[in-house]
Amino acid sequence: MSLSPKEGLDLLCNGDVLALGKQADEVRRSLHPDNTVTFIVDRNINYSNVCVSECKFCAFYRRKGEKGQYLLSNDVILKKIDETISAGGTQVMIQGGLHPDLDFQYYLDMLNLIKKKYRITIHSFSPAEVIHMAKKANLSILDTLKELKKAGLDSLPGGGAEILVDEVRQRVSPKKISAGEWLEVMEIAHGIGLESTATMVIGMGETLEQRIEHMEKVRQLQKRTGGFRAFITWTFQPGNTELGGKKVTAWDYLKTLAVTRIYLDNIKHIQGSWVTQGQNIGQLTLAFGADDLGSIMLEENVVRAAGTSYQMSIDKMVNIIRDAGKVAAQRDTQYNIIRKFE
Ligand code: SF4
């Protein structure tokens, strides 16, 4: 039976970290009994860092006209996709700032161009970007998503969820979409067959109650749509940000990760994050409920802008998984296994 929010909070507040890991691993084993741990080979392509949202936790964005701002040309984007395919990649995650001058056609043309040239999954545009596009185009969220899908969008990443509680969002990103808007975009996307992931970012001064409130909102939406493929917890990287502060401890991260596995019993995959935690803690996530280690990420810019940079390769990933006593497998965006490393 699913945990109530009160029971979830009790685990988060009072649970012993090792006991939580064991309990989460049991849930993981019941969902994934074959001991396989998956990863994907993809590339993040950040078409522009110009953003009007100015989130206080973000080290990536630049204001329009500010030094360091950029907008990638289509040629550069296509070259990056070419390199991704040559390296065995199957997915691109295209995301960028909320650029004040790009109109909706820019995104549609980009998708059309990519799909015309390449067979690659386009897992792109977070809800904040979708709402930004809808406003620019004067379209409903539904029509915006339908147009994006028609142009080649395959699925949505779960970015921009941070903590789905407006009190937190008002403090750390007052200009960004509300919790309700994030959930609304996901619900509409799932309704037209655009599945997605969901994320949570911890460490921005939220309470443990607010972390559970976030999980509860995602679980409730999943009950209605079934469209979330995976849940990913990230830790806030304070370097070079206006918000600043300290990083959450690895213990706090692992404990929260374990509770997400136990609490979100209707979401199949839980992803461990080596990107924010490094490979040692990334490997430990496999004992705390994670069944997937996300992407090799041939390119990543957002976490790196905050001063955190870990490198990963297919060989390294396979070794991390093997050394944890599991079988490594490369997957696609839909979690189909492409190849096993036995
Ligand atoms: S997190 Fe996204 S929306 Fe917020 S400032 Fe950074 S790029 Fe813009």
Cβ of 61 less than 6 Å from ligand 1:
yes
CA of 64 to the centre of ligand 1 (A): 13
What angle do helix axes 250-263 and 208-225 make, rounded to 10 degrees? 30
CA of 303 to the centre of ligand 1 (A): 12
Q: Which segments of the chain are extended strands (E)?
A: 36-40, 42-46, 91-95, 121-122, 196-202, 228-235, 269-271, 292-295, 327-331, 337-341
Determine the average pLDDT of the residues in 316-332: 95
More confident residue, 197 or 83: 197
- Name the closest-CA residue to atom 6, ligand 1: 58
Average of per-residue pLDDT across 109-128: 97
Q: Which residue segments constitute the domains of the chain, with CATH numbers given?
A: 5-341 (3.20.20.70)
Query: What is the token pair recorded at 23?
Result: 């309990």
DSSP string, 11-71: HHHH--HHHHHHHHHHHHHHH-TT-EEEEE-EEEEE-B-B-SS--TT-SS-B-TT-TT--B
- Reply yes or no on whether the pLDDT at 103 is more than 70: yes
Q: Is the CB of 54 under 6 A from ligand 1?
A: yes
Q: What is the pLDDT of residues 11-47, one digit of tens each?
A: 999 999 999 999 999 999 999 999 999 999 999 999 9
Supply the pTM of this predicted model.
0.96
pLDDT band, very low/low/confident/very high, at 150 (cuts 50, 70, 90): very high
Kindly state if the Cβ of 234 falls inside 6 Å of ligand 1. Answer: no
Report the chain's mean pLDDT, rounded to a whole number: 95
How far does the centroid of ligand 1 lie from the alpha carbon of residue 62, in Å?
Answer: 9
> Which pLDDT score is estimated for 310?
67
- Check pocket membership of 236 for ligand 1, CB cut-off 6 A: no
For residue range 178-220, list pLDDT tens digits in order: 999 999 999 999 999 999 999 999 999 999 999 999 999 999 9
Q: How far is the CA of 102 from the centre of ligand 1 (A)?
A: 16
Average pLDDT over residues 142-160: 98
